[in-house]
Structure 1
Amino acid sequence: MSQPGSPNEPVASGDLDAAWSHVWTSSDASTRGWLQGMRPVTVHDSLVILAVPNEFTRDRVESRLRPVIEQQLSDFYSRPIRLAIDVDPSIGDEEPPPLAEPEPEPEPPASTRST
């Protein structure tokens, strides 16, 4: 019997969501700007497929971000991970899903002056 995420077994989508969240939190602000337009599609064996909205973003991932993303995913899965990039123009039209619930803003202190 194989373990979830072992070679030859697809990884559950929740694991991919957790992996993508790990990539997000491990990245600096400028990289997050690029990650925001990407969507993880699936992971199988040692391959993660990412969808990007256009050729420009794909070129950016290929030229600068691939090593960083692959390393972060490899760290998460504890095995070497490679990326495949798929251009999907429809993802450029949707609002990115939140990766974490925003923390509520603190209430401003009530005024102590009477009017």
Structure 2
Amino acid sequence: MVWSSVLDGIDNDALPAHQRAWLPQTRPLGLIEDTALIAAPNEFTKKVLESRLYPAISKALSAHLGREIRVAVTVDPTAVPTPPPTPTSPGSYGGPG
């Protein structure tokens, strides 16, 4: 998959771990000419991508696709599936057990 290869190609030294943590919350929506459209789950993540991560994402996409790629970010709350709730034991909330 192109997106996972691009994320793997982002320079770990140039991007601190606390900034890399935002990347799994994104999903590529498409490539329109030389602009990659990326979905973020909320406005805060969108702002982080546009301000702090834009250069790294653009550079990695450009290297992977062999041409200069710009990045546009949109908010899509369904961008990343919510993990299923963890089962709780019956006695953990006052049930029998």
TM-score with structure 1 length normalisation?
0.61
Alignment check: 8 A CA contact 2:27 2:80 kept: no
Cα shift at 1:92: 4.5
Which residue does the alignment assign to 1:38?
A: 26
Alignment check: 8 A CA contact 2:40 2:76 kept: yes
Q: Residue type matched to 1:79 in 2?
A: R
Higher relative contact order (CA 8 A, sep 6+): 2
Asked if 1:81 corresponds to 2:69, the answer is yes
Alignment check: 8 A CA contact 1:40 1:48 kept: yes
Asked if 1:22 corresponds to 2:10, the answer is no
SS in 1 for 2:25: coil
Aligned-residue RMSD, C-alpha: 1.6
Identity between Structure 1 and Structure 2 (%): 38
Of 20-29 and 64-73, the range deviating more from structure 2: 20-29
Show structure 1 runs of 4+ deviating over 6 A.
none
SS in 2 for 1:80: coil
Cα shift at 1:33: 1.3
Q: Residue type matched to 1:72 in 2?
A: A
Gaps of 5+ in 1: 1-16, 96-115
